[in-house]
Copies of this chain bind each other. A is one copy, B any other.
Amino acid sequence: MAERLSAEARQQALGGLPGWTDVQGRDAIGKTFVFKDFNEAFGFMARAALVAEKMDHHPEWRNVYKTVEVVLSTHDAGGVTARDIALAKAMNAIAG
């Protein structure tokens, strides 16, 4: 099972993940992606869903038209792990 990242490791990882920040009041990281329209927003979600399913690690996310708010945390570990960092990185790559 993945272990929670130390505060130091987490900050270092966030430094390499543009747009991702700590989520207030939770042991989680989050990012709000804004696209051109729903087509692009859902296209992003579809590609990210395939990656998430392959990783067997799934996001919490909310979509309103062209916006996708993502929160990542590892339930089993009770906080942010390397799996969240990997998924965040993949999402940034998909969003371009």
Contacts and interface: CB of A to CB of B under 8 A. Distances in A.
Interface of A: 38-39, 42, 45-46, 49, 52-53, 58-65
How many copies of this protein are present in the complex?
A: 2
B60 A63 contact: yes
Q: 7 closest A-B pairs (Cβ-Cβ)?
A: A62-B62, A42-B49, A60-B64, A38-B58, A58-B65, A61-B63, A38-B53
A3 to B, nearest CB: 21
A65 B62 CA distance: 12
A53 B59 CA distance: 23
8 contacts: A38-B49, A38-B53, A39-B53, A42-B49, A58-B65, A60-B64, A61-B63, A62-B63
